[in-house]
Protein backbone atom coordinates (compact mmCIF):
# COMPACT_ATOMS: atom_id res chain seq x y z
CA UNK A 1 0.00 0.00 0.00
CA UNK A 2 1.93 3.05 1.21
CA UNK A 3 5.63 3.07 0.36
CA UNK A 4 7.46 1.62 3.35
CA UNK A 5 9.21 3.75 5.99
CA UNK A 6 6.55 6.41 5.74
CA UNK A 7 4.06 7.04 8.49
CA UNK A 8 0.99 4.88 8.41
CA UNK A 9 -2.24 6.53 7.39
CA UNK A 10 -3.70 6.06 10.86
CA UNK A 11 -3.36 9.78 11.56
CA UNK A 12 -5.95 10.42 8.86
CA UNK A 13 -8.43 7.99 10.27
CA UNK A 14 -11.41 8.78 12.45
CA UNK A 15 -13.91 6.73 14.42
CA UNK A 16 -14.71 3.35 12.88
CA UNK A 17 -17.19 3.44 10.05
CA UNK A 18 -20.44 1.55 10.41
CA UNK A 19 -20.18 -2.12 9.40
CA UNK A 20 -22.22 -3.16 6.38
CA UNK A 21 -25.28 -5.03 7.56
CA UNK A 22 -28.24 -6.63 5.89
CA UNK A 23 -30.56 -3.95 4.66
CA UNK A 24 -27.87 -1.54 3.41
CA UNK A 25 -29.03 0.30 0.32
CA UNK A 26 -28.30 -1.53 -2.93
CA UNK A 27 -28.81 -0.12 -6.39
CA UNK A 28 -27.81 -0.65 -9.98
CA UNK A 29 -26.01 2.43 -11.19
CA UNK A 30 -26.58 3.60 -14.71
CA UNK A 31 -24.91 7.02 -14.70
CA UNK A 32 -21.14 6.53 -14.93
CA UNK A 33 -20.30 9.53 -12.79
CA UNK A 34 -23.06 9.30 -10.20
CA UNK A 35 -21.35 8.42 -6.93
CA UNK A 36 -23.25 6.30 -4.39
CA UNK A 37 -23.92 7.62 -0.90
CA UNK A 38 -22.23 6.49 2.30
CA UNK A 39 -22.42 2.68 2.51
CA UNK A 40 -24.70 2.51 -0.52
CA UNK A 41 -23.88 -0.35 -2.88
CA UNK A 42 -24.04 0.07 -6.65
CA UNK A 43 -23.26 -2.56 -9.26
CA UNK A 44 -23.67 -3.61 -12.84
CA UNK A 45 -26.59 -5.99 -13.59
CA UNK A 46 -24.21 -8.94 -14.00
CA UNK A 47 -22.57 -8.66 -10.56
CA UNK A 48 -23.93 -8.92 -7.03
CA UNK A 49 -22.76 -9.47 -3.49
CA UNK A 50 -23.76 -12.79 -1.95
CA UNK A 51 -21.99 -12.60 1.42
CA UNK A 52 -20.07 -10.32 3.78
CA UNK A 53 -18.33 -11.14 7.04
CA UNK A 54 -17.19 -8.03 8.95
CA UNK A 55 -13.79 -7.97 10.60
CA UNK A 56 -14.00 -9.42 14.08
CA UNK A 57 -12.12 -9.92 17.31
CA UNK A 58 -8.82 -8.01 17.54
CA UNK A 59 -9.12 -7.04 13.87
CA UNK A 60 -12.37 -5.11 14.34
CA UNK A 61 -10.59 -1.75 14.53
CA UNK A 62 -10.08 0.90 11.92
CA UNK A 63 -6.28 0.63 12.01
CA UNK A 64 -6.31 -3.16 11.49
CA UNK A 65 -6.29 -3.03 7.68
CA UNK A 66 -7.25 -6.19 5.80
CA UNK A 67 -4.63 -6.93 3.12
CA UNK A 68 -3.97 -9.74 0.63
CA UNK A 69 -5.67 -13.14 0.09
CA UNK A 70 -4.45 -16.67 -0.64
CA UNK A 71 -6.58 -19.78 -1.20
CA UNK A 72 -6.17 -23.42 -0.24
CA UNK A 73 -8.58 -26.37 -0.11
CA UNK A 74 -11.64 -24.14 -0.60
CA UNK A 75 -10.51 -21.87 2.21
CA UNK A 76 -9.52 -18.21 1.92
CA UNK A 77 -6.73 -16.82 4.05
CA UNK A 78 -6.97 -13.05 4.46
CA UNK A 79 -4.00 -11.09 5.73
CA UNK A 80 -4.46 -8.23 8.15
CA UNK A 81 -1.94 -5.74 9.54
CA UNK A 82 -2.49 -7.50 12.88
CA UNK A 83 -2.42 -11.14 11.69
CA UNK A 84 -4.59 -13.30 9.44
CA UNK A 85 -8.00 -14.98 9.30
CA UNK A 86 -8.88 -18.33 7.67
CA UNK A 87 -12.35 -18.61 6.15
CA UNK A 88 -14.17 -21.76 5.05
CA UNK A 89 -15.65 -20.93 1.62
CA UNK A 90 -16.96 -24.33 0.61
CA UNK A 91 -20.38 -22.66 0.73
CA UNK A 92 -19.64 -19.27 -0.85
CA UNK A 93 -23.02 -17.90 0.24
CA UNK A 94 -22.19 -18.79 3.84
CA UNK A 95 -18.48 -18.31 4.54
CA UNK A 96 -17.41 -18.87 8.11
CA UNK A 97 -14.36 -18.12 10.21
CA UNK A 98 -12.27 -21.20 10.92
CA UNK A 99 -9.45 -19.54 12.83
CA UNK A 100 -7.80 -16.21 13.47
CA UNK A 101 -4.16 -15.59 14.37
CA UNK A 102 -3.11 -12.39 16.12
CA UNK A 103 0.42 -11.62 14.89
CA UNK A 104 0.97 -7.89 14.24
CA UNK A 105 3.44 -6.87 11.55
CA UNK A 106 1.92 -5.10 8.55
CA UNK A 107 1.23 -5.67 5.77
CA UNK A 108 1.01 -9.37 6.55
CA UNK A 109 0.52 -10.25 2.88
CA UNK A 110 0.03 -14.01 2.61
CA UNK A 111 0.76 -16.95 0.32
CA UNK A 112 0.31 -20.70 0.72
CA UNK A 113 1.97 -23.89 -0.47
CA UNK A 114 0.60 -27.20 0.72
CA UNK A 115 0.51 -27.12 4.50
CA UNK A 116 2.64 -23.98 4.77
CA UNK A 117 1.55 -20.36 5.06
CA UNK A 118 3.95 -17.46 4.53
CA UNK A 119 3.48 -13.99 6.01
CA UNK A 120 5.30 -10.75 5.11
CA UNK A 121 6.33 -8.33 7.87
CA UNK A 122 7.38 -4.86 6.75
CA UNK A 123 6.99 -2.81 9.91
CA UNK A 124 9.86 -2.87 12.38
CA UNK A 125 9.14 -5.05 15.43
CA UNK A 126 11.04 -5.66 18.66
CA UNK A 127 11.46 -9.35 17.71
CA UNK A 128 10.05 -12.06 15.42
CA UNK A 129 7.38 -13.32 17.81
CA UNK A 130 3.64 -12.74 17.49
CA UNK A 131 3.73 -10.84 20.78
CA UNK A 132 6.35 -8.34 19.61
CA UNK A 133 5.90 -4.59 19.96
CA UNK A 134 6.39 -1.85 17.37
CA UNK A 135 9.98 -0.71 17.02
CA UNK A 136 11.88 1.70 14.79
CA UNK A 137 13.77 0.62 11.68
CA UNK A 138 16.86 2.54 12.87
CA UNK A 139 17.25 0.04 15.73
CA UNK A 140 19.78 -2.62 14.61
CA UNK A 141 17.94 -5.21 16.71
CA UNK A 142 14.56 -4.53 15.10
CA UNK A 143 13.05 -7.41 13.14
CA UNK A 144 11.29 -7.53 9.76
CA UNK A 145 10.98 -10.36 7.26
CA UNK A 146 9.13 -13.62 6.59
CA UNK A 147 7.14 -15.73 9.05
CA UNK A 148 6.23 -19.36 8.30
CA UNK A 149 3.19 -21.18 9.70
CA UNK A 150 2.12 -24.82 9.54
CA UNK A 151 -1.56 -24.87 8.53
CA UNK A 152 -2.04 -28.63 8.23
CA UNK A 153 -4.75 -28.02 10.83
CA UNK A 154 -6.53 -24.96 9.48
CA UNK A 155 -8.28 -24.47 12.81
CA UNK A 156 -4.96 -24.30 14.67
CA UNK A 157 -2.12 -22.72 12.66
CA UNK A 158 1.32 -23.21 14.21
CA UNK A 159 4.14 -20.67 13.92
CA UNK A 160 7.26 -22.64 12.94
CA UNK A 161 9.95 -20.32 11.54
CA UNK A 162 11.04 -16.80 10.70
CA UNK A 163 13.66 -15.29 8.42
CA UNK A 164 14.94 -11.72 8.67
CA UNK A 165 15.36 -10.04 5.27
CA UNK A 166 17.01 -6.75 4.36
CA UNK A 167 14.48 -3.90 4.39
CA UNK A 168 11.83 -6.34 5.62
CA UNK A 169 9.25 -7.99 3.38
CA UNK A 170 6.66 -5.65 1.92
CA UNK A 171 5.31 -8.43 -0.28
CA UNK A 172 6.58 -11.83 -1.37
CA UNK A 173 5.97 -14.31 -4.19
CA UNK A 174 5.96 -18.07 -3.70
CA UNK A 175 7.62 -20.21 -6.40
CA UNK A 176 7.92 -24.01 -5.92
CA UNK A 177 10.99 -25.88 -7.09
CA UNK A 178 10.41 -28.58 -9.69
CA UNK A 179 10.75 -31.43 -7.20
CA UNK A 180 8.40 -29.75 -4.69
CA UNK A 181 11.00 -30.39 -2.00
CA UNK A 182 11.33 -26.66 -1.35
CA UNK A 183 9.56 -23.43 -2.14
CA UNK A 184 11.28 -20.16 -2.88
CA UNK A 185 9.94 -16.86 -1.59
CA UNK A 186 10.94 -13.85 -3.68
CA UNK A 187 10.89 -11.02 -1.16
CA UNK A 188 10.09 -7.50 -2.38
CA UNK A 189 11.30 -4.62 -0.23
CA UNK A 190 12.48 -1.10 -0.85
CA UNK A 191 13.32 2.43 0.38
CA UNK A 192 16.73 2.03 2.04
CA UNK A 193 18.36 4.82 4.03
CA UNK A 194 21.77 5.42 5.54
CA UNK A 195 20.35 5.45 9.08
CA UNK A 196 18.68 2.04 8.68
CA UNK A 197 21.25 -0.62 9.65
CA UNK A 198 19.17 -3.46 8.16
CA UNK A 199 18.21 -1.54 5.03
CA UNK A 200 21.29 0.05 3.56
CA UNK A 201 21.41 1.69 0.13
CA UNK A 202 21.54 1.04 -2.75
CA UNK A 203 19.35 -2.10 -2.16
CA UNK A 204 18.94 -2.83 -5.88
CA UNK A 205 18.13 -6.47 -5.15
CA UNK A 206 15.58 -8.95 -3.90
CA UNK A 207 16.01 -11.58 -1.19
CA UNK A 208 15.21 -15.20 -2.04
CA UNK A 209 14.20 -17.37 0.92
CA UNK A 210 14.23 -21.15 0.56
CA UNK A 211 11.77 -23.10 2.72
CA UNK A 212 12.24 -26.90 2.72
CA UNK A 213 8.70 -28.25 2.70
CA UNK A 214 9.45 -31.10 5.13
CA UNK A 215 11.66 -28.99 7.37
CA UNK A 216 10.28 -25.43 7.26
CA UNK A 217 12.23 -24.60 10.42
CA UNK A 218 15.34 -24.56 8.19
CA UNK A 219 14.07 -21.64 6.11
CA UNK A 220 16.86 -19.23 5.17
CA UNK A 221 17.94 -16.58 2.68
CA UNK A 222 19.80 -18.41 -0.10
CA UNK A 223 20.33 -15.67 -2.69
CA UNK A 224 20.18 -11.88 -3.04
CA UNK A 225 20.40 -11.21 -6.79
CA UNK A 226 21.05 -7.62 -7.84
CA UNK A 227 18.41 -6.60 -10.38
CA UNK A 228 19.44 -3.01 -11.07
CA UNK A 229 23.24 -2.72 -11.26
CA UNK A 230 22.75 0.66 -12.95
CA UNK A 231 20.49 1.88 -10.16
CA UNK A 232 17.20 1.79 -12.05
CA UNK A 233 14.91 4.75 -12.54
CA UNK A 234 16.34 7.76 -10.63
CA UNK A 235 12.87 9.19 -10.11
CA UNK A 236 11.95 12.84 -10.48
CA UNK A 237 9.12 15.11 -11.56
CA UNK A 238 6.51 14.11 -14.10
CA UNK A 239 5.41 16.68 -16.70
CA UNK A 240 2.38 17.60 -14.59
CA UNK A 241 4.55 18.45 -11.57
CA UNK A 242 3.92 15.27 -9.60
CA UNK A 243 6.79 12.94 -8.75
CA UNK A 244 7.64 9.44 -9.92
CA UNK A 245 9.41 7.01 -7.60
CA UNK A 246 13.06 6.17 -7.83
CA UNK A 247 13.77 2.44 -8.08
CA UNK A 248 15.22 1.25 -4.76
CA UNK A 249 13.98 -2.34 -4.92
CA UNK A 250 10.73 -3.95 -6.07
CA UNK A 251 7.23 -3.57 -4.69
CA UNK A 252 5.76 -6.75 -6.14
CA UNK A 253 6.80 -9.70 -8.27
CA UNK A 254 4.47 -12.03 -10.15
CA UNK A 255 5.75 -15.40 -11.28
CA UNK A 256 4.41 -17.58 -14.07
CA UNK A 257 6.38 -20.78 -13.31
CA UNK A 258 5.06 -22.78 -16.28
CA UNK A 259 6.44 -20.13 -18.65
CA UNK A 260 9.62 -19.47 -16.62
CA UNK A 261 8.63 -15.81 -16.49
CA UNK A 262 8.62 -13.24 -13.72
CA UNK A 263 7.18 -9.73 -13.93
CA UNK A 264 8.52 -7.08 -11.58
CA UNK A 265 6.73 -3.92 -10.54
CA UNK A 266 9.72 -2.07 -9.16
CA UNK A 267 8.72 1.45 -8.14
CA UNK A 268 10.11 3.29 -11.18
CA UNK A 269 10.54 0.32 -13.52
CA UNK A 270 8.46 -2.44 -15.06
CA UNK A 271 10.61 -5.52 -15.59
CA UNK A 272 10.33 -8.84 -17.42
CA UNK A 273 12.57 -11.65 -16.14
CA UNK A 274 13.58 -15.10 -17.31
CA UNK A 275 13.06 -17.47 -14.37
CA UNK A 276 14.76 -20.58 -15.75
CA UNK A 277 17.33 -20.33 -12.94
CA UNK A 278 15.18 -19.86 -9.84
CA UNK A 279 18.03 -18.35 -7.81
CA UNK A 280 19.14 -15.96 -10.53
CA UNK A 281 16.23 -14.18 -12.23
CA UNK A 282 17.60 -12.66 -15.42
CA UNK A 283 16.33 -9.36 -16.78
CA UNK A 284 14.96 -9.68 -20.32
CA UNK A 285 13.53 -6.19 -20.66
CA UNK A 286 12.83 -3.08 -18.59
CA UNK A 287 10.41 -0.24 -19.29
CA UNK A 288 9.68 3.12 -17.71
CA UNK A 289 6.75 5.49 -18.04
CA UNK A 290 7.98 8.91 -17.03
CA UNK A 291 4.81 10.63 -18.16
CA UNK A 292 1.98 8.89 -16.34
CA UNK A 293 3.27 6.23 -13.92
CA UNK A 294 4.26 7.32 -10.40
CA UNK A 295 4.75 3.97 -8.64
CA UNK A 296 4.92 0.59 -10.39
CA UNK A 297 2.99 -1.51 -7.90
CA UNK A 298 2.02 -4.97 -9.19
CA UNK A 299 1.81 -7.10 -12.33
CA UNK A 300 -0.43 -9.74 -13.93
CA UNK A 301 0.36 -11.92 -16.97
CA UNK A 302 -2.32 -13.04 -19.37
CA UNK A 303 -2.74 -16.81 -19.64
CA UNK A 304 -0.64 -17.20 -22.78
CA UNK A 305 2.22 -15.22 -21.23
CA UNK A 306 2.19 -12.70 -24.06
CA UNK A 307 1.00 -9.65 -22.08
CA UNK A 308 1.60 -7.99 -18.72
CA UNK A 309 -0.74 -5.62 -16.91
CA UNK A 310 1.20 -3.30 -14.60
CA UNK A 311 -0.55 -1.12 -12.01
CA UNK A 312 0.36 2.39 -10.93
CA UNK A 313 -0.40 2.97 -7.25
CA UNK A 314 -0.29 6.74 -7.53
CA UNK A 315 -0.43 8.26 -4.04
CA UNK A 316 0.38 5.00 -2.25
CA UNK A 317 -3.26 3.96 -1.96
CA UNK A 318 -4.30 6.91 0.16
CA UNK A 319 -5.38 9.50 -2.42
CA UNK A 320 -8.62 10.02 -4.37
CA UNK A 321 -7.13 9.62 -7.86
CA UNK A 322 -10.25 8.29 -9.64
CA UNK A 323 -11.48 11.70 -10.71
CA UNK A 324 -11.27 14.25 -13.49
CA UNK A 325 -8.27 15.95 -11.88
CA UNK A 326 -6.00 12.94 -12.36
CA UNK A 327 -7.68 11.81 -15.58
CA UNK A 328 -7.80 8.41 -17.28
CA UNK A 329 -4.08 7.62 -17.54
CA UNK A 330 -2.75 8.25 -14.01
CA UNK A 331 -3.26 5.77 -11.16
CA UNK A 332 -4.22 3.33 -13.91
CA UNK A 333 -3.19 -0.01 -15.40
CA UNK A 334 -0.62 -0.08 -18.20
CA UNK A 335 -1.12 -2.91 -20.70
CA UNK A 336 2.04 -4.21 -22.36
CA UNK A 337 2.36 -6.85 -25.07
CA UNK A 338 5.41 -9.13 -24.95
CA UNK A 339 6.81 -9.17 -28.47
CA UNK A 340 9.71 -11.14 -29.96
CA UNK A 341 11.20 -14.40 -28.77
CA UNK A 342 13.78 -15.56 -26.24
CA UNK A 343 16.24 -12.89 -25.17
CA UNK A 344 14.83 -10.55 -27.82
CA UNK A 345 11.46 -10.26 -26.07
CA UNK A 346 10.30 -6.72 -25.44
CA UNK A 347 7.56 -5.05 -23.41
CA UNK A 348 5.55 -2.92 -25.84
CA UNK A 349 3.04 -0.44 -24.41
CA UNK A 350 -0.48 -0.70 -25.85
CA UNK A 351 -2.91 1.25 -23.64
CA UNK A 352 -4.08 2.33 -20.20
CA UNK A 353 -7.13 1.07 -18.33
CA UNK A 354 -8.68 3.22 -15.60
CA UNK A 355 -11.84 2.74 -13.60
CA UNK A 356 -14.49 4.54 -15.74
CA UNK A 357 -16.50 5.97 -12.81
CA UNK A 358 -15.38 9.06 -10.94
CA UNK A 359 -15.21 8.69 -7.17
CA UNK A 360 -15.67 11.32 -4.47
CA UNK A 361 -12.86 13.31 -2.86
CA UNK A 362 -13.36 11.27 0.33
CA UNK A 363 -12.56 7.94 -1.36
CA UNK A 364 -9.03 6.64 -1.72
CA UNK A 365 -9.06 5.05 -5.17
CA UNK A 366 -6.28 3.79 -7.43
CA UNK A 367 -5.36 0.62 -9.35
CA UNK A 368 -4.61 -2.26 -6.98
CA UNK A 369 -4.57 -6.08 -6.76
CA UNK A 370 -6.45 -8.39 -9.11
CA UNK A 371 -6.28 -11.68 -10.97
CA UNK A 372 -7.34 -13.26 -14.23
CA UNK A 373 -10.78 -14.78 -14.61
CA UNK A 374 -9.83 -18.10 -16.28
CA UNK A 375 -11.60 -17.93 -19.64
CA UNK A 376 -9.73 -19.69 -22.43
CA UNK A 377 -9.13 -17.54 -25.47
CA UNK A 378 -9.85 -14.25 -23.71
CA UNK A 379 -7.97 -11.95 -21.34
CA UNK A 380 -10.35 -10.95 -18.56
CA UNK A 381 -9.31 -9.58 -15.18
CA UNK A 382 -11.03 -8.76 -11.90
CA UNK A 383 -9.36 -5.97 -9.98
CA UNK A 384 -9.62 -4.07 -6.70
CA UNK A 385 -9.61 -0.27 -6.72
CA UNK A 386 -9.83 0.44 -2.97
CA UNK A 387 -12.96 2.59 -2.49
CA UNK A 388 -13.46 2.58 -6.24
CA UNK A 389 -14.71 -0.97 -5.69
CA UNK A 390 -14.20 -3.96 -7.95
CA UNK A 391 -13.97 -3.87 -11.74
CA UNK A 392 -14.11 -6.77 -14.21
CA UNK A 393 -12.56 -5.83 -17.52
CA UNK A 394 -11.50 -7.40 -20.81
CA UNK A 395 -8.08 -6.67 -22.36
CA UNK A 396 -8.15 -9.29 -25.12
CA UNK A 397 -7.67 -6.33 -27.46
CA UNK A 398 -4.65 -4.80 -25.70
CA UNK A 399 -5.21 -1.41 -27.28
CA UNK A 400 -8.90 -1.22 -26.38
CA UNK A 401 -9.63 -2.58 -22.89
CA UNK A 402 -13.22 -2.33 -21.69
CA UNK A 403 -15.11 -2.88 -18.47
CA UNK A 404 -17.74 -5.62 -18.45
CA UNK A 405 -18.89 -5.48 -14.82
CA UNK A 406 -18.44 -3.65 -11.52
CA UNK A 407 -19.45 -3.57 -7.86
CA UNK A 408 -18.72 -0.88 -5.29
CA UNK A 409 -19.68 0.67 -1.98
CA UNK A 410 -20.09 4.35 -1.43
CA UNK A 411 -17.61 6.24 0.75
CA UNK A 412 -17.07 5.43 4.40
CA UNK A 413 -17.81 9.06 5.21
CA UNK A 414 -19.21 12.05 3.33
CA UNK A 415 -17.15 14.51 5.38
CA UNK A 416 -13.74 12.86 5.92
CA UNK A 417 -11.37 10.63 3.98
CA UNK A 418 -11.14 7.29 5.77
CA UNK A 419 -8.82 4.72 4.21
CA UNK A 420 -10.81 1.72 3.06
CA UNK A 421 -12.13 -0.28 0.15
CA UNK A 422 -11.12 -3.46 -1.61
CA UNK A 423 -7.42 -4.25 -1.20
CA UNK A 424 -7.51 -7.43 -3.29
CA UNK A 425 -10.20 -8.92 -5.51
CA UNK A 426 -9.52 -12.41 -6.90
CA UNK A 427 -11.47 -15.04 -8.81
CA UNK A 428 -11.37 -18.50 -7.26
CA UNK A 429 -13.46 -21.55 -8.12
CA UNK A 430 -16.49 -19.76 -9.48
CA UNK A 431 -16.71 -16.61 -7.35
CA UNK A 432 -14.96 -13.32 -6.69
CA UNK A 433 -13.51 -12.80 -3.22
CA UNK A 434 -12.55 -9.40 -1.88
CA UNK A 435 -10.54 -8.32 1.15
CA UNK A 436 -11.97 -4.97 2.18
CA UNK A 437 -9.71 -2.87 4.40
CA UNK A 438 -12.53 -1.87 6.72
CA UNK A 439 -15.64 -3.85 5.81
CA UNK A 440 -14.17 -7.33 6.00
CA UNK A 441 -14.56 -10.28 3.65
CA UNK A 442 -16.87 -10.03 0.62
CA UNK A 443 -18.07 -12.73 -1.77
CA UNK A 444 -19.44 -11.71 -5.16
CA UNK A 445 -21.14 -13.58 -7.97
CA UNK A 446 -20.72 -12.65 -11.62
CA UNK A 447 -23.20 -13.94 -14.18
CA UNK A 448 -22.04 -13.05 -17.67
CA UNK A 449 -21.66 -15.08 -20.85
CA UNK A 450 -18.10 -13.82 -21.24
CA UNK A 451 -16.99 -15.18 -17.86
CA UNK A 452 -19.26 -18.23 -17.66
CA UNK A 453 -16.61 -20.71 -18.95
CA UNK A 454 -14.44 -19.89 -15.92
CA UNK A 455 -16.87 -21.67 -13.61
CA UNK A 456 -15.54 -25.04 -14.78
CA UNK A 457 -11.94 -24.17 -13.79
CA UNK A 458 -11.01 -25.40 -10.31
CA UNK A 459 -7.87 -25.03 -8.23
CA UNK A 460 -7.00 -26.65 -4.92
CA UNK A 461 -4.58 -23.82 -4.23
CA UNK A 462 -4.31 -20.30 -5.60
CA UNK A 463 -1.84 -17.46 -5.04
CA UNK A 464 -2.48 -14.54 -7.37
CA UNK A 465 1.25 -13.72 -7.55
CA UNK A 466 2.08 -17.31 -8.60
CA UNK A 467 0.02 -17.61 -11.75
CA UNK A 468 -1.22 -21.02 -12.83
CA UNK A 469 -2.08 -21.89 -16.43
CA UNK A 470 -5.62 -22.85 -17.38
CA UNK A 471 -4.85 -24.39 -20.79
CA UNK A 472 -4.10 -22.91 -24.14
CA UNK A 473 -5.40 -19.39 -24.60
Q: Is 160 left (phi over 0), alpha (psi -120 to 50) or beta?
A: alpha
In-domain check, residue 472: no
380, 455 Cβ separation under 8 angstroms? no
Average pLDDT over residues 234-259: 91
Q: How many angstroms separate the CA atoms of 434 and 67, rounded?
A: 10
- Summarised one tens digit per residue, pLDDT across range 296-332 is 999 999 999 999 999 999 999 999 999 999 999 999 9
- Summarised one tens digit per residue, pLDDT across range 131-156 is 999 999 999 999 999 999 999 999 99
Asked whether residue 388 carries a pLDDT value surpassing 90, the answer given is yes
Looking at the chain, the whole-number percentage of residues with pLDDT higher than 70 is 92
The reported pLDDT for the residue numbered 239 is 76
In-domain check, residue 12: yes
Residues 28 and 167 in one domain: no
Residues 44 and 186 in one domain: no
In-domain check, residue 197: yes
Task: Quote the number of domains for the chain.
Answer: 2
Residues 42 and 74 in one domain: no
pLDDT band at 30 (very low <50, low <70, confident <90, very high): very low
Neighbours of 434 (CB within 10 A): 27
- Summarised one tens digit per residue, pLDDT across range 260-284 is 999 999 999 999 999 999 999 999 9
In-domain check, residue 456: no
The reported pLDDT for the residue numbered 35 is 83
Give the domain-ending residue among 206, 226, 246: 226
User: How are the residues of the chain apportioned to helix, strand and coil, as percentages rounded to the nearest 5?
Assistant: 5, 45, 50
The reported pLDDT for the residue numbered 473 is 52
In-domain check, residue 461: no
110, 69 Cβ separation under 8 angstroms? yes
The reported pLDDT for the residue numbered 77 is 98
E strands within 325-414? 333-339, 346-353, 370-372, 380-384, 390-394, 402-409
Please report, for the domain that includes residue 440, its CATH number. 2.130.10
Please report, for the domain that includes residue 77, its CATH number. 2.130.10.10
Backbone φ and ψ for 336, nearest 5 degrees, come out as -120, 130
Residues 288 and 422 in one domain: yes
Asked whether residue 13 carries a pLDDT value surpassing 80, the answer given is no
Asked whether residue 3 carries a pLDDT value surpassing 70, the answer given is no
Strand partners, 300: 309
Residues 322 and 174 in one domain: no
Residues 385 and 359 in one domain: yes
What average pLDDT does the structure give for the chain? Answer: 92
Average pLDDT over residues 119-135: 98
Residues 316 and 434 in one domain: yes
Average pLDDT over residues 98-124: 97
Using alpha carbons, list the distances in angstroms from residue 128 to 131, 207, 328, 391, 435.
Answer: 8, 18, 43, 37, 25
Q: How many angstroms separate the CA atoms of 39 and 28, rounded?
A: 14
Q: Are strands 41-43 and 26-28 parallel, antiparallel or unpaired?
A: parallel
In-domain check, residue 411: yes
Domain that holds residue 117: 65-226
DSSP secondary structure letters along 295-326: -EEEEEE-TTSSEEEEEE-GGGG-SB-SSTTT
The reported pLDDT for the residue numbered 1 is 67
Q: How many angstroms separate the CA atoms of 189 and 165, rounded?
A: 9
Helix (H, G, I), strand (E, B) or coil at 455: helix
Nearest Cα to Cα of residue 293 among 367, 359, 365:
367
Residues 144 and 8 in one domain: no
Asked whether residue 21 carries a pLDDT value surpassing 90, the answer given is no
Cα 387 to chain centroid distance, Å, stands at: 15
For residue 214, give the H/E element and its range: none
In-domain check, residue 249: no
Residues 36 and 71 in one domain: no
Residues 136 and 73 in one domain: yes
Residues 200 and 277 in one domain: no
Residues 330 and 205 in one domain: no
In-domain check, residue 349: yes
Give the domain-ending residue among 211, 226, 241: 226
Residues 6+ apart with CB under 8 A from 183: 113, 116, 174, 175, 176, 177, 210, 211, 213
The reported pLDDT for the residue numbered 466 is 98
Amino acid sequence: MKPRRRLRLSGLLVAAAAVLVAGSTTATASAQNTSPGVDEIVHSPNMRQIANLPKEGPFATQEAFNSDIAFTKNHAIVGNYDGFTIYDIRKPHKPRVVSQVLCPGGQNDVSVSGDLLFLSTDYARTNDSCTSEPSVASDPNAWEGIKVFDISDLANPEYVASVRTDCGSHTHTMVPDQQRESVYLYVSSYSPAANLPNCQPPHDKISIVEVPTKHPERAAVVATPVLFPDGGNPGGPNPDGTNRSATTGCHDLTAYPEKNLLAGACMGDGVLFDLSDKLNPRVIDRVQDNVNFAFWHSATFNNSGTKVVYTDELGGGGLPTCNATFGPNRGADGIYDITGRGDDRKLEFRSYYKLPRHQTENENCVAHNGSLIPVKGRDIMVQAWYQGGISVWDFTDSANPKEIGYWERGPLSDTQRITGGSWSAYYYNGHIYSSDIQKGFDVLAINDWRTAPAKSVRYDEFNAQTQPSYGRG
